[in-house]
Structure 1
Amino acid sequence: MSDFLIDEELLAAIDMGSNSFHLAIARVDHGEVKKVASMSEKVQLAAGLDENKNLTEAAQQRGLACLARFVGRLGSVQPNRLRIVATNALRQAKNGHEFIQKAAEILPKPIEIIAGREEARLIYLGVSHTMENSGRRLVVDIGGGSTELIIGEEFEPIHTESLQMGCVAFTKKFFQDGEISPKAFEKALVAARKELSGIANTYKNEGWDTVVGSSGTIKACRQIIVNMGWSDEKESLTREGLDKLKDKLFKYKHVSDMEFDGLKEDRRAVLPAGIAILYAVFDVLEIDSLLYSDGALREGVMYDLLGRFQHEDVRDRSVQALMGRYNSDPKQAERVVQTAQQLFDNVAQKLNLTSDDSDLLRRAAYLHEIGLAISHAGYHRHGAYLLQHSDIAGFSQIDQNHLSHLVAHHRRKLRSDAKFDIMKVGGSKLLHLCLLLRLSVLLNHSRSDEMLPAIELVVHNAQQWQLSVSGDAKQWPLLVADLHDEQVQFKHCDIELNIQAEQFIH
């Protein structure tokens, strides 16, 4: 990845939402992301989840066909300037990996399934970059499968939550036949209030100056209210206007009967559920009015990507925060990072490793000891668990899975099936990074600032590695023993580690 983006270079994001898929293409203009093209299709992936939480074949084909059309618009965008993120539907889908494998044959980059709070963070980033930054704001985004609520100031979120309620999911549960009734609406409203109850006190105590809504549901509701003359002078979505919209909704018996000026046909089926969720948000959080922002997840993804090019990568801030939270030894982490970078540079070209692989190894090296905060015994497993199951800003679920495997296998004996497990998750690249991290930790077992012997790692081929150590081996007897023990672990991965050194006695 290059260190910067010059003006006029393109960025792109694909947002695979539970209701709609979106593509946004933008150019960089004086550090700002200016959208130049966009596409949106109602895929309704969440509607394709069966009773066992598996995506049906029809839903998968809708998604794949949409992605293929999106790819046709990406000819001018370099792959490293594209991010593809998936949200609640793929978080829920038990067979999501099948869809991702099929999509990999179409897409130039892997799909990143992001956690709910990471989705919330990126939504806030998109909204905050498309609105005037003044005071504290509450951002509400009602998606197809989940609803994100974020309190933040300027570009920094303070509280992020993702709740299991969305217009597609609630349509399936409460309005599946398309019939509209006060009873069905009330059931949806109660369910939404229940979801909101867990965060209501925290959010109201934190407080906000303005409320901003994003997403198709809020856009549709606001547009109807404005067209009906029910909004205020700022064309906000008000509580009074929402009451009138609800009352008007009850005049219809079925979604096919609804006549709202400005309502798009593809939004019709999910509108009652969307109104119920929005009504509950206004009710529980005691909101009077809400502004609308076109900024959303895809814009946030592009601004986050731009930050990575400009050395403002939130992932590095997250790594430092994790080290602080779990009281990791920063000096030891830095020693391991420096050694890992040297070994990586030795072998990157031969093993076809990229700068993204270097970033992953570096972050794993910084985090390899966080499990010590729980227990010294098996701390690598504790660290792996924390990385697998924590909400970590900037990281996709795949990123966290890769980090977790690196930390889990950085020490102790490798199980006979370790190679299979690692390869299944991240292929040969992840296996090679794991071995580089093991060597880096091993070479710094002394936890000393004294100079290590000069080392060089050479890869003759994927199965033949050679570590050269300069100097008298008698000066580092424990290191010698550790390296010979490590040769056995490399064999479990079908790699022969040869050790060369002056006076190095086996």
Structure 2
Amino acid sequence: MSDPRTPDAGTPAVGGPVRVAAVDCGTNSIRLLIADVADGRLTEVDRRMTIVRLGQGVDATGAFAPEALARVFAATEDFASVIRSRAISRIRFVATSAARDVSNRDEFLTGIEQRLGVRPEIISGDEEAELSFRGATTGIDLPEPYLVTDIGGGSTELVLGDRTGVRAAQSLDLGSVRLTERHVTTDPTAPAELAAIAKDIDALLDTTTVPLREARALIAVAGTATTVAAVALDLPEYDRTAVHHATLTTAQLRETTTWLTTSTHAARTAVPSIHPGRVDVIGAGALILQHLTDRLQVTTLTVSEHDILDGVALSLG
């Protein structure tokens, strides 16, 4: 396979936009953003997401399952084809919590490099937090300081900051896939299982070094938050434009979380705004968001479609 960093890329005009490709591989999904970056701002060209569940079984086994790697490699091949069709000048692939401590991560790294032509970066929790913060807060106007949270499949990032930058950040081993695999065996989820999830959430939130109560606004990014927003807004289908910068009250969040955690798998599957790959884990993700919000002195939260993926793209400009 030819290197997708070079075909038709040419040299961008001096002072002109740079076309970049950013790939973010998390515990539950892998995403691609192709964008033109200039003067610290980006213009989206193409954005795609595939549910791959890379973190399948990792909490229990400490290794990537062969079928999970196969799903990631297939999605990467699809992304590589898209990238080759564009005039890409720079590309960056980042992997987050699921890839940090697994025993077979070299198989993952080599497989991606063979298919995409770049070596994935397994970024630290701190860098993940900073990239999420940059992506989420570019062009936003909210009271400061604001807390940005990215609730993923395997970890949750908490970042407190303002327009001058990050004040405090932490990555917690708290995610929708991790908690679902650890505790959920019934449909609908049994009250005892929900209580066990809540206990794990609170235990980890109790350890955070981020001063949560200083936040004057909450910005929630990534698939858990955007899915919760789409359900709360009762969208007939998922609509990025309607979700981006949507504001939910804490009452709306609580009502939505209650439904997501007590409904059956079939009932959630019937909601068109919930991606099929999130149906089984969205309840645990919503609970994380609910318990986090309960600790803040805010009455609303803002949901953003811009997140770590946008931060990675901006880092290439």
Q: TM-score, normalised by structure 1?
A: 0.55
Choose the corresponding residue for 1:265, options 276, 289, 293: 276
Relative to 1, partners in 2 of residues 1:176 and 1:90: Cα closer, same or farther, differing over 3 Å? Answer: farther
CA contact (8 A) 2:146 2:161 kept: yes
CA contact (8 A) 1:146 1:163 kept: yes
| Alpha-carbon distance, 1:88 to partner | 0.6
SS at match of 1:246: helix
Relative to 1, partners in 2 of residues 1:35 and 1:41: Cα closer, same or farther, differing over 3 Å? Answer: same
CA contact (8 A) 1:178 1:269 kept: no
Within 5 Å, which residues of 2 pair with 1:266-281? 266-281=277-292
Query: After the TM superposition, which of the residue ranges 8-17 and 238-247 deviates more from structure 2?
Result: 238-247
Between the aligned partners of 1:39 and 1:250, the Cα distance in structure 2 is 27
1:215 aligns with 2:222: yes
Quote the residue 2:6 is aligned against.
none
Relative to 1, partners in 2 of residues 1:224 and 1:173: Cα closer, same or farther, differing over 3 Å? Answer: same
Relative to 1, partners in 2 of residues 1:281 and 1:31: Cα closer, same or farther, differing over 3 Å? Answer: closer
Quote the residue 1:256 is aligned against.
266
Between the aligned partners of 2:248 and 2:153, the Cα distance in structure 1 is 20
Within 5 Å, which residues of 2 pair with 1:180-195? 180-195=189-204
Quote the residue 1:305 is aligned against.
316
1:13 aligns with 2:22: yes
Quote the residue 2:53 is aligned against.
44
Letter in 1 for 2:267: D
SS at match of 2:27: coil
Between the aligned partners of 1:267 and 1:170, the Cα distance in structure 2 is 13
Letter in 2 for 1:21: I
Between the aligned partners of 1:97 and 1:210, the Cα distance in structure 2 is 40
Which whole-Å deviations, capped at 9, do the CAs of 1:252-308 have from their partners, x for residues lacking one? Answer: 3x32233546323222111111111112112233542210111111110111222xx
Which whole-Å deviations, capped at 9, do the CAs of 1:222-274 have from their partners, x for residues lacking one? Answer: 1111228xxxxx9522221122223334553x322335463232221111111
Relative to 1, partners in 2 of residues 1:178 and 1:49: Cα closer, same or farther, differing over 3 Å? Answer: farther
Relative to 1, partners in 2 of residues 1:92 and 1:176: Cα closer, same or farther, differing over 3 Å? Answer: farther
SS at match of 2:211: helix
Between the aligned partners of 2:109 and 2:229, the Cα distance in structure 1 is 35
Between the aligned partners of 2:87 and 2:174, the Cα distance in structure 1 is 34
Between the aligned partners of 2:142 and 2:107, the Cα distance in structure 1 is 42
Letter in 1 for 2:265: V
CA contact (8 A) 2:176 2:285 kept: yes
- Unmatched 5+ residue regions in structure 2? 1-10, 236-244
Relative to 1, partners in 2 of residues 1:46 and 1:155: Cα closer, same or farther, differing over 3 Å? Answer: farther
| Alpha-carbon distance, 1:172 to partner | 0.7
Between the aligned partners of 1:57 and 1:281, the Cα distance in structure 2 is 34
1:89 aligns with 2:98: yes
CA contact (8 A) 1:7 1:27 kept: no
Choose the corresponding residue for 1:136, options 121, 141, 145: 145
Letter in 1 for 2:217: T
Quote the residue 2:114 is aligned against.
105
- Tell me which of the two structures has the higher relative contact order, counting C-alpha pairs closer than 8 angstroms and 6 or more residues apart: 2
Relative to 1, partners in 2 of residues 1:250 and 1:42: Cα closer, same or farther, differing over 3 Å? Answer: closer
Between the aligned partners of 1:17 and 1:146, the Cα distance in structure 2 is 9
| Alpha-carbon distance, 1:44 to partner | 0.8
Relative to 1, partners in 2 of residues 1:275 and 1:64: Cα closer, same or farther, differing over 3 Å? Answer: same
Query: After the TM superposition, which of the residue ranges 188-197 and 128-137 deviates more from structure 2?
Result: 128-137
CA contact (8 A) 2:216 2:297 kept: no
Quote the residue 1:326 is aligned against.
none
- Unmatched 5+ residue regions in structure 1? 229-233, 307-506
Quote the residue 1:238 is aligned against.
249
| Alpha-carbon distance, 1:71 to partner | 0.5
Relative to total residues, which structure has the larger helix share, 1 or 2? Answer: 1
Quote the residue 1:70 is aligned against.
79
Letter in 2 for 1:83: R
Letter in 2 for 1:294: E
1:124 aligns with 2:133: yes
Q: Which has the larger radius of gyration?
A: 1
Within 5 Å, which residues of 2 pair with 1:29-428? 29-49=38-58, 51-75=60-84, 76-78=86-88, 81-132=90-141, 135-154=144-163, 156-199=165-208, 202-204=211-213, 207-227=214-234, 235-249=246-260, 251-252=262-263, 254-258=264-268, 260=271, 262-306=273-317
Letter in 2 for 1:262: S
The CA RMSD over aligned residues, in Å, is 2.4
| Alpha-carbon distance, 1:182 to partner | 2.1
Give aligned-pair identity as a percent.
26
